[in-house]
A and B are shown apart, each in its own frame.
Chain A
Amino acid sequence: MPVPNFTTAICTFAMCAACVGNAWADSGALLATSGLRSIEGSAGGGLTTWALIAGHAEQGEYALGAGISRAVTDGFALTSASAYWSQGNRLEVSIGRQSLDLDALVEIGATDRTAVAMDLYGVKYRLAGDPVYASFGQFSLGAVYKNNRDAALVRTIGADRASGIDAYLAWSKMWLDGPGHRNWLLNLTLRATQAHQLGLTGFDDNHTLSAEGAVGVFLNPNWVVGAEYRNKPDRLPNVAEDDWADLYLAWFPNKRWAVAVAYLDLGSIGGVDDQHGWFASVQYND
């Protein structure tokens, strides 16, 4: 549970942001309800998955889209690319690829590999509700199958397996006319996972529960500022794993494009402590 200073910064920034910002031009009312592409491919923020279904499809319509993101810390860099297909604001199917550069580990001689890659296949189903118009918000159920392509490295680290499945229940709710007369987006996800560090350092034989959440305030319909927190299991005996947090700013200029930047606090990764850094993502919705 690292770095209280960072969480202080998150709160201060997010709370202050609620009372500013009337100046930007805006357009459609519902253009941000598709969310962003999370690093695991499904609709979410950056580090966390949300209950939103990707794309702007309503009943009888479908949507396609793709996104790419890069997270860079002192010792590592993670590139994530993903694409999705969604049907009628009900079902979302996504595929993704992550590639983690291991510069920090190469430097200390822990490995001679320069990168580790993982494939992700996700599905998300909206159980009930609507983030804007249902008083109880929207609930979705999802799963992601992840396959780490470097089984040898995973065994070296001490993980049981090179692949695993996450299953999650997610809730999203847009609070209309919340504090500061702004619209607020709240997300909470309960996840059963086998993964160590998303699976980039392998998987356990057994599932464990973790939680993740995000809050965002719409300064206007095009700009959102917020924070995410992701609780992570810490089950590899020799390599500590910390919870993740970030503070983000997202821009939805229109229904097709969205851009997000974030300041990351990822704690200890692969034995290298205090991994802070920056995240940027861009996504396109057909």
Chain B
Amino acid sequence: MISLRICALTGFALLLLACATTPKEGLYQALGEGPGIASLVNEAVHRSHADPRFGELFSEADLDNLRSQLNSQICELADGPCVYEGLSMAEAHSGMQISRAEFNWFVEHTRDAMTALGYSVGTQNRLLARLAPMRAEILSDTDMPAQMPEEPVDPLGMGD
């Protein structure tokens, strides 16, 4: 049992060291700054718009406005030089009756878009972890407590 503990501790310490000494790039830079975020948003919205499972959710949406809001929101979330001034997530999605399945499909399209555009798994995980806390406000009904603070924060304190 002693060896198990020693191993776990040293292994974890080595891992943190390895990860800490990896050169750090801000998420905004990893996403390719403004142009990179714009192509990511275009691709994710395009894939969702083309997905018949969403019904009218995307086919009836104002796509230009949606892309513009997503651009500034992701830019801000990624610590870029933007301030998102749009509606809160709860306000923006009120009345849309978004289901958990629809939320999952959009996450999958975003993930697929990032893969198609060549983003690394690490960059994908960094962005999705910052988007995940919005779920509670986006869903029409949830059995989880609403945890979304006023401003998006890194929920796990992992920083960059």
Q: Tell me, yes or no, whether A binds B.
A: yes
A residues with CB within 8 A of B: 1, 4, 7-8, 10-12, 14-15, 18-19, 21-22, 25-30, 58-59, 61, 128-130, 132-135, 175-183, 219-221
Kindly report which residue of chain B lies nearest to residue A61, judged by CB atoms.
B101
Contacting pair A7 B11 (CB below 8 A): no
Point out the residues of chain A lying under 8 angstroms from B94, CB to CB. none
Kindly report which residue of chain B lies nearest to residue A177, judged by CB atoms.
B129
**A178 and B158 contact, Cβ closer than 8 Å, known pairs A133-B144, A135-B147:** yes
Contacting pair A180 B19 (CB below 8 A): yes
B: interface residue count bin: 35 or more
How many angstroms from the CA of A22 to the CA of B115 in the assembled complex?
A: 10
Using an 8 Å CB-CB cutoff, how does the interface string of B35-79 with A read, 1 for contact, 0 for none? 000000000000000000000000000000000000000000000
Point out the residues of chain B lying under 8 angstroms from A58, CB to CB. 99-101, 104
Contacting pair A22 B122 (CB below 8 A): yes
Expressed in whole angstroms, the minimum distance between the Cβ of A10 and any Cβ of chain B is 8
Point out the residues of chain A lying under 8 angstroms from B120, CB to CB. 22
- Most chain A Cβ neighbours within 10 Å, of B1, B120, B125: B125
Kindly report which residue of chain B lies nearest to residue A255, judged by CB atoms.
B108
B residues with CB within 8 A of A: 1, 3-4, 7-8, 10-12, 14-16, 18-19, 22, 99-101, 104, 107-108, 110-112, 115, 120-123, 125-126, 128-129, 132, 135-136, 143-144, 147, 155-156, 158
Contacting pair A26 B19 (CB below 8 A): no
Identify B12's interface contact among A15, A27, A128, CB under 8 A.
Answer: A15
Point out the residues of chain B lying under 8 angstroms from A178, CB to CB. 156, 158
Point out the residues of chain A lying under 8 angstroms from B19, CB to CB. 18-19, 179-181
**A1 and B136 contact, Cβ closer than 8 Å, known pairs A29-B128, A181-B122:** no
